Amino acid sequence: DIQMTQSPSTLSASVGDRVTITCRASQNINIWLAWYQHKPGKAPKLLIYKASSLDYGVPSTFSGSGSGTEFTLTINGLQPDDFATYYCQQYNRYPWTFGQGTKVDIK
């Protein structure tokens, strides 16, 4: 299985901050990486697919980059609605696997 490792596990930030989350794959996954936002009691929401493509309706404050084994999710100008847990997920090879999650909370 391909292991996905996110850092940090928890991140404390303020509204307006620029936030960066890193995701590393245990082997080359090309660009086959997605990012999801998850809030308690709600369905996970796809933010980014193919490492850097924004899903429909996702604010441009979110961006993704990377290829191979190292990827980043950046939030430019954190908004109150952005406090949540973020997961990366590889879909280069079965079984699909998620990172352990990064919780973004209020400083």
Interaction site with other proteins (CB under 8 A): 1, 32, 34, 36, 38, 42-46, 49-50, 55, 87, 89, 91, 94-101
Minimum distance of other proteins from residue 80's CB (angstroms)? 22
The residue (of 63 and 100) whose beta carbon lies closer to other proteins is 100
> What's the distance, CA 80 to chain centroid?
17
Least separation in angstroms between residue 12's CB and other proteins is: 19
Q: Which is nearer to other proteins, 17 or 38 (CB)?
A: 38
Q: How far apart are CA 105 and CA 91, in angstroms?
A: 27
